[in-house]
Structure 1
Amino acid sequence: MPAETPEMSGLSGYFRCGLPYNRSGRGARALVIFPGLTFENKPQFGMLSMYAFLKREFTLFAVNRRPGMPSGCTLRDMGDDYATMIREEFGGPVDVIGISTGGSIALHFAADHPDLVRRLVIHSSAHTLNDAAKALQLEVARLAQKGEWRQAWATIVRTIFPQKGPGRWLSQPLVGFSAWLLSRKPPRDPGDLVATVRAEDEHAFKDRLGEIAAPTLVAGGADDFFYSPSLFGETAAGIPNSRLCLYEKMGHPATGWQFRSDVLTFLRDQ
Structure 2
Amino acid sequence: MVETGTVAGGMPYLRTGSGPPLVFLPGITAHHRVPAGPDLRFQLAQVRPLARTREVWWLNRRPGLPTGTSMADLAADHAAALRGLFGDAVDVLGVSTGGSVALQLAVDAPDVVRRLVLVSAACTLGERGRRAQRDAARHLRAGRPRRAAAAMMGIMGAGPLTRGAATAAGWLLGSTFVGRGDPDLQAVIDAEDAFDLCDRLPAITARTLLVGGAHDGCYGRALLERTAARIPGARLILFPHKGHLGIGPATARPVLAFLDEP
| Fold shared per TM-score above 0.5 | yes
Q: Under a length normalisation based on structure 2, what TM-score does the superposition of the two structures give?
A: 0.91
Larger proportion of helix? 2
**Separation of aligned partners in 2, 1:214 and 1:179:** 38
Q: Alpha-carbon deviations, 1:212-268, whole Å to 9, x = none?
A: 100000110011110111111111111112101011110111555442221111010
Sequence identity percentage: 37
Within-5 A mapping of 1:117-128: 117-128=113-124
Which of the numbers 138, 141, 145 marks the counterpart of 2:137?
Answer: 141
Partner residue in 1 for 2:240: 248
Contact 2:15/2:56, CA 8 A, preserved across alignment: yes
User: Higher Cα Rg: structure 1 or 2?
Assistant: 1
Q: 2:90 aligns with which of 90, 94, 107?
A: 94
Look up the match of 2:22: 31
What SS class does the counterpart of residue 47 from structure 1 fall into? helix
In 2, Cα distance between the equivalents of 1:230 and 1:100?
A: 16
Does 2:35 correspond to 1:40? Answer: no
In the alignment, residue 263 of structure 1 is paired with which amino acid? V
Distance 1:12 1:240, change over 3 A: same
Q: Which runs of 5+ in 1 are unaligned?
A: 3-9
Q: 152-161 or 242-251: which moved more?
A: 152-161
For 1:111, the aligned partner's letter is V
Secondary structure in 2 matching 1:80: helix
Is 1:178 matched up with 2:173?
yes
8 Å contact kept, 2:157–2:216: no
Answer with 54-63 or 216-225: which moved more: 54-63
How many angstroms does 1:61 deviate by? 1.1
Structure 1, 126-135 or 142-151: larger mean CA deviation = 142-151
Match of 1:6 in 2: none
In 1: Cα distance, 2:135 partner to 2:117 partner: 28
- Confirm or deny: 8 A CA contact 2:15 2:57 kept in the other structure: yes
Deviation, 1:113, is 1.0
Q: Quote the Cα distance in structure 1 between the aligned partners of 2:150 and 2:89.
A: 38
Which ranges of structure 2 fall in alignment gaps of 5 or more residues? none
* TM-aligned CA deviation for residue 26 of structure 1: 2.0
Q: State the alpha-carbon separation in 1 of the partners of residues 151 and 95 from structure 2.
A: 19
In the alignment, what sits opposite 1:155?
A: 151
From 221, 230, 243, give the equivalent of 1:229. 221
2:66 to 52, 55, 70: 70
Residue-pair matches, total:
257
Shift of 1:73: 1.0
DSSP 3-state at the match of 2:49: helix
In structure 1, how many angstroms separate the alpha carbons of the residues matched to 2:117 and 2:211?
7
- Is 1:194 aligned to 2:190, yes or no? no
TM-score (norm 1): 0.88
Pairwise CA distance, 1:18? 1.4
Q: Is residue 2:52 matched to residue 1:60?
A: no
CA RMSD of aligned residues (A): 2.0
For residues 20 and 169 of structure 1, the distance between their equivalents in structure 2, rounded to whole angstroms, comes to: 33
Q: Is the 8 A contact 1:13 1:22 kept in 2?
A: yes
